[in-house]
């Protein structure tokens, strides 16, 4: 017969709450990413149709690509945090098994 460890539910609950918060943050970043990608398409289309000059197109392209790269980095960092917390939760669950 195994020994039952005291289960720290507060720690597990805190970790789950943090995952929920990070998940909402990731969803927000992904929505922003989709908006940026749409703006990139609009910029390209506007240039192709002659609505904007090459200078404006290049400026917009640079700004939008920089913003896209920032969002990719933020998404990557946030999902990395979620993964670490998930691993911590899994470790806790393993410790509490009988």
Q: State the sign of the Cα–Cα–Cα–Cα dihedral 32, 38, 41, 46.
A: negative
Q: Which two tokens stand for residue 81?
A: 């945090």
Q: Reply yes or no on whether the pLDDT at 1 is more than 70.
A: no
Identify the CA nearest to 43 among candidates 34, 56, 30, 31: 56
pTM: 0.81
Query: Rounded to 5 degrees, what are φ and ψ at 27?
Result: -60, -40
Give tens-digit pLDDT for 13-54: 999 999 999 999 999 999 999 999 999 999 999 999 999 999
Question: What pLDDT shows up at residue 30?
Answer: 98
Q: What is the spatial distance between Cα 17 and Cα 21, in angstroms, rounded to a whole number?
A: 6
d(CA 64, CA 58): 10
Using a 10 angstrom Cβ sphere, with 0-12 exposed, 13-18 middle and 19 or more buried, the burial of residue 30 is middle
């Amino acid at each position: 017969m195994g020994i039952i460890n005291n289960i720290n539910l507060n720690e597990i609950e805190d970790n789950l709450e943090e995952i929920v918060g990070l998940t909402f943050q990731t969803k927000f970043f992904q929505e922003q990413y989709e908006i940026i990608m749409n703006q990139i398409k609009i910029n390209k289309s506007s240039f192709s149709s002659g609505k904007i000059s090459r200078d404006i197109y290049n400026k917009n392209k640079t700004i939008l690509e920089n913003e896209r790269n920032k969002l990719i980095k933020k998404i990557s960092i946030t999902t990395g945090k979620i993964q670490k917390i998930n691993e911590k939760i899994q470790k806790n669950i393993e410790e509490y098994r009988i």
